[in-house]
A and B are shown apart, each in its own frame.
Chain A
């Protein structure tokens, strides 16, 4: 089946530390890949996306590269801020499945000053 697996949280970092949140996927087709962020009490916001192999999505200092050979889409940021504290969700979407998103379980990030 189709699924997304993320590294378990919570992840606690000091401000300006380097962030990596691992995400791997299993898909029967050729998916598009996404990272969403959820701040406390809010809905999900699209952070970045990539639609084909070797594409790099980037936004607000976050990056992720679509690696087909390792079926991965790891999220990275060189220097985190306290305001980055949130829950991050990796997701995939298959072209032939009407647009529904399949999410990982989420990784909570807490950044301390």
Chain B
């Protein structure tokens, strides 16, 4: 059973461009969480999604950031008009949810560098 997949692993963007980060949860998992890790800091929760629904986006910046988890395909974290402060590692985690519990399994992360 493959783990959580994230791609790309490394992404370089210039200021003002868009960044799209993809996360494929583990098979059978319908819950996805996104976290951001700034340099020298711990992980900060951004958003929690179930299939086609945003459950909790209390950690998402109000502008330029959006997330989706469509019925088919991976979850996408989208950052529009990136700025240097968006440079960070972005981690996705998935869990089965429901009666199967909500232990989170993490992907390897996408390291975003904004030039």
Q: Give the interface of A toward B (CB within 8 A).
A: 4, 36, 41-46, 49, 89, 93, 97-106
- Tell me if B20 counts as interface (CB < 8 A to partner A): no
- Tell me if B103 counts as interface (CB < 8 A to partner A): yes
Name the residue of chain B whose CB is nearest to the CB of A102.
Answer: B45
Whether A44 pairs with B91 at a CB distance below 8 angstroms is yes
**B31-54: which residues lie under 8 A (CB-CB) from chain A?**
31, 33, 35, 41-45, 48
Q: Give the interface of B toward A (CB within 8 A).
A: 4, 6, 31, 33, 35, 41-45, 48, 55-56, 59, 91, 93, 95, 97, 102-109
| Bound CA–CA A101/B59 (angstroms) | 11
Name the residue of chain B whose CB is nearest to the CB of A103.
Answer: B42
Specify which of B43, B48, B91 is in contact with A99 (CB 8 Å cutoff).
B48
| Bound CA–CA A45/B4 (angstroms) | 12
Whether B48 pairs with A98 at a CB distance below 8 angstroms is yes
Question: Inside 8 A of B55's CB, which chain A residues have their CB?
Answer: 98
A-B contacts, 17 of them at CB < 8 A, read A42-B108, A42-B109, A43-B6, A43-B91, A43-B108, A44-B93, A44-B106, A46-B103, A49-B103, A89-B42, A89-B43, A98-B55, A99-B48, A101-B33, A103-B44, A104-B42, A105-B41
Name the residue of chain B whose CB is nearest to the CB of A107.
Answer: B42
Give the distance to chain A from B55, nearest Cβ to Cβ, in Å.
6
| Bound CA–CA A36/B6 (angstroms) | 19
Give the distance to chain B from A90, nearest Cβ to Cβ, in Å.
9
Q: Given A42-B108, A98-B48, A98-B56, 19 other A-B contacts at CB below 8 A?
A: A43-B91, A43-B109, A44-B43, A46-B103, A89-B43, A97-B56, A98-B55, A99-B31, A99-B102, A100-B33, A100-B45, A100-B59, A101-B35, A101-B43, A101-B104, A103-B42, A103-B44, A105-B41, A106-B41
Residue among A36, A44, A93, A102 with the most chain B CB within 10 A? A44
Nearest 3 A/B pairs, CB to CB: A43-B106, A103-B42, A99-B102
